[in-house]
């Protein structure tokens, strides 16, 4: 049995597509398929159901999933801890943070936590929510900083992880202003409004999609552009290309300067939390010290 087989399994369980999973694992599809088959032979049963319509987890594959994630993360953590114990020096502690929080919220937040800065050797990794989740599941980061809503789907909202609320934010539908100061695009009526949407990798996109999937809409949207970067949508909204739901922490300067205005009434705003996640299992002394410092602030 090889650790790579577990990582292959997790990639396929996430994508349910052999070609995309093989690409993510940087191997050819035939080689990837052989490794999945080798894992199934080792387990003694099929983990995936292959049909002409696609790939699905078998009941055994579903059962295998959580423990495979835990074991993979634990083995990576064991390797890192052992290297550190060998005298190679302390490795940086990594915080995976979504792009929208990396540029504005994170610097202010860390500067306000002097005990955290005093620990030193802290590494920020900025990426999409999907990539940050993968880093946490692999054990490549000790913390995850992200926006959170109770209705959003998340791969780390399980008993394997703990979290604390460290801030609040609001997703606001924003548009560039017209010459009279009114929004160029307004969320009202049956005429479709040009919509700047988040991609599938974005946690903010999950939140917005969940909210409007369960609400009666008094407006129509026409998606004209998609990106997982809130900053990209901010730039396009500012240029007048459409409406985007943007975190207030990212755009407060644009709102104050009149470069962006609300495209709808306040009831269209989406209150959200800013949360810090960590593995539930006991971590290194440095990780536990940082967590204690965060909890006391």
| Cα–Cα distance, 126 to 136 (Å, whole number) | 13
Mean pLDDT for the chain overall: 87
Contact 224, 196 (CB under 8 A): yes
C-alpha to C-alpha distances, 35 to 9, 44, 61, 128, nearest whole angstrom: 9, 14, 15, 28
Q: For 280-295, what is the mean pLDDT?
A: 81
* Residue 136 exposure: Cα atoms within 13 Å on the Cβ side: 31
Fold adopted by 3-85? Arc Repressor Mutant, subunit A (1.10.10)
Q: How confident is the model at residue 97 (pLDDT cuts 50, 70, 90)?
A: very high
- The top-level CATH class assigned to 92-167+274-296 is alpha beta
C-alpha to C-alpha distances, 285 to 73, 81, 86, 135, 278, nearest whole angstrom: 18, 11, 16, 20, 14
Residue scoring higher pLDDT (2 or 121):
2
Tens digit of pLDDT for each residue in 160-213?
A: 899 999 999 999 999 999 999 999 999 987 788 999 999 988 999 999 988 875
Q: Looking at the chain, which residues constitute the CATH 3.40.190.10 domain(s)? A: 92-167+274-296, 169-272
Q: For 66-84, what is the mean pLDDT?
A: 76
Q: Is the pLDDT of residue 13 over 80?
A: yes
| Cα–Cα distance, 61 to 66 (Å, whole number) | 10
Residue scoring higher pLDDT (173 or 281):
173
Weakest mean pLDDT among 131-135, 137-141, 274-278: 137-141
| Cα–Cα distance, 297 to 294 (Å, whole number) | 5
Q: How confident is the model at residue 117 (pLDDT cuts 50, 70, 90)?
A: low
Q: Quote the pLDDT of residue 83.
A: 66
DSSP 3-state assignment of 19? helix
Residue scoring higher pLDDT (79 or 37):
37
Q: In the 8-state DSSP scheme, what is residue 90?
A: P
Q: How confident is the model at residue 235 (pLDDT cuts 50, 70, 90)?
A: very high
Contact 260, 238 (CB under 8 A): yes
Q: Quote the pLDDT of residue 138.
A: 78
Q: Quote the pLDDT of residue 165.
A: 93
The pTM assigned to this predicted structure is 0.74
User: For the chain, how many residues are written?
Assistant: 297
Q: Quote the pLDDT of residue 234.
A: 97
Q: Is the pLDDT of residue 48 over 90?
A: yes
The residues that bridge with 216 in the sheet, in sequence order, are none
| Cα–Cα distance, 36 to 81 (Å, whole number) | 28
Q: For 270-281, what is the mean pLDDT?
A: 92
Contact 142, 281 (CB under 8 A): no
Q: How confident is the model at residue 276 (pLDDT cuts 50, 70, 90)?
A: very high
- The top-level CATH class assigned to 169-272 is alpha beta
Output b/e per residue, 256-293; b: 16+ Cβ within 10 A: eeebbbbbbeeebebebbbbbbbbeeebbebbebbbeb
Q: Looking at the chain, which residues constitute the CATH 1.10.10.10 domain(s)? A: 3-85
As a whole-number percent, the residues of the chain with pLDDT over 70 amount to 92
């Amino acid at each position: 049995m090889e650790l790579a087989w577990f990582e292959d399994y997790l990639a396929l369980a996430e994508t349910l597509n052999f070609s995309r999973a093989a690409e993510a694992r940087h191997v050819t599809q035939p080689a990837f398929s052989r490794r999945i088959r080798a894992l199934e032979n080792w387990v003694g049963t099929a983990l995936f159901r292959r049909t002409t319509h696609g790939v699905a987890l078998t009941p055994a594959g579903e059962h295998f999933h959580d423990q495979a994630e835990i074991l993979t993360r634990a083995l990576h953590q064991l390797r890192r801890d052992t290297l550190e114990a060998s005298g190679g020096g302390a490795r940086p502690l990594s915080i995976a943070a979504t792009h929208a929080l990396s540029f504005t919220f994170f610097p202010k937040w860390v500067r306000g936590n002097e005990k955290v800065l005093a620990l030193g050797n802290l590494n920020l990794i900025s990426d999409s929510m999907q990539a940050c989740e993968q880093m946490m599941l692999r054990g490549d980061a000790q913390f995850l900083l992200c926006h959170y809503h109770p209705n959003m789907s998340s791969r780390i909202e399980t008993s394997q992880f703990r979290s604390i609320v460290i801030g609040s934010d609001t997703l606001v539908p924003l548009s560039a202003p017209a010459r009279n100061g009114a929004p160029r695009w307004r969320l009202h009526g049956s005429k479709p409004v040009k919509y700047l949407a988040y991609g599938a990798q974005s946690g903010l996109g999950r939140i917005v999609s969940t909210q409007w999937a369960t609400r009666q809409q008094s407006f129509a949207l026409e998606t004209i552009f998609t990106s997982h970067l809130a900053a990209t949508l901010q730039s396009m909204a500012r240029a007048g290309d459409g409406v985007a739901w943007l975190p207030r922490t990212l755009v407060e300067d644009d709102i104050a300067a009149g470069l962006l205005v609300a495209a709808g009434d306040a009831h269209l705003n989406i209150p959200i939390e800013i949360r810090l996640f960590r593995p539930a299992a006991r971590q290194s002394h440095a990780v536990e010290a940082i967590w204690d410092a965060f909890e006391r602030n």
